[in-house]
Structures are given as structure tokens and as C-alpha cells.
């Protein structure tokens, strides 16, 4: 059996890894300190908003959504190695590249069944 990642997954994984190493990893410790010091833990920090804009610009936003209208259009097999990489980071696993502030299953339901009205 061939267990190599598809070319698309390899390319996204390389871009995601570079994004995490340059944009997220250097800020991880400061972000954790900020979270621990906050009174309102459910307020999205300016750092997350900044990273969200950068992730969107890099095409690394909503990677979990299988519909290309709303996300990357990846299959579970394509997304799994990306999720594994994002799981190495508190920031990446919870926000800019993985999901907005909504759990993936809920976001998929919104994408599939909601309207713009």
C-alpha cells in the first residue's frame, strides 16, 4: 500500500509548517501567559485576530472544511497530517489554521445547512 501524502497535502503541510515556525511558534509562550492573565478567557486576543488574517492570506484558513466554497476542500485523509501538525501548538490547534472559534463539526454543519439570509 502507498501511504505517502498526496502532492496537495505535501504542499499544504510544507506551507503550514513554515507558517507555524515563523508566525506561531515564536509567540506561543507569550500567548499562553496572556491567556492565563485574562479575566475574560472567551475574548479573542488581538494576536489570534492578527494570525487569522495572515492564515487567510496564506490559504491556510478553515483547512478542516471539506467544501471548497468555505474551506480547503480536503478529504479526511488529506486533512489528518495537517491536523497532526497543528496539534503541536496551542495556538494552531485552536485558532488560525484549524478553525475559527467554532468546533469543526459545528462549523461543517453551519457551512452545509445555513443560509446567508
Model pLDDT for residues 13-28, shown as the tens digit of each residue: 999 999 999 999 999 9
pLDDT value at 55 more than 70: yes
Would you say domain 7-113 falls under CATH 3.40.720.10?
A: no
Q: Are 92 and 98 in contact (CB under 8 A)?
A: yes
pLDDT digits (tens, 9 = 90+) for 83-94: 999 888 878 776
pLDDT value at 52 more than 70: yes
Question: What per-residue string of b and e applies to 91-115 under the rule 16 or more CB within 10 Å gives b?
Answer: bbeebbbbbeeeebeebbeeeeeee
Domain ranges of the chain: 7-113
* Alpha carbons 63 and 93: distance in angstroms, whole number: 11
| pTM given for the model | 0.75
Amino acid at each position: 500500500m502507498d501511504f505517502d501524502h498526496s502532492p496537495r497535502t505535501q504542499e499544504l503541510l510544507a506551507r503550514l509548517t513554515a507558517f507555524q515556525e515563523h508566525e506561531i511558534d515564536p509567540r506561543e509562550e507569550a500567548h499562553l501567559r496572556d491567556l492565563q492573565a485574562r479575566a475574560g478567557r472567551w475574548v479573542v486576543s488581538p494576536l489570534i485576530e492578527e494570525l487569522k488574517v495572515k492564515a487567510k492570506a496564506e490559504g491556510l484558513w478553515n483547512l478542516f472544511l471539506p467544501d471548497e466554497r468555505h474551506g480547503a476542500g480536503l478529504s479526511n485523509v488529506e486533512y489528518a497530517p495537517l491536523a497532526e501538525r497543528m496539534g503541536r501548538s496551542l495556538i494552531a490547534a485552536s485558532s488560525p489554521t484549524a478553525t475559527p472559534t467554532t468546533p469543526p463539526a459545528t462549523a461543517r454543519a453551519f457551512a452545509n445547512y445555513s443560509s446567508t439570509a
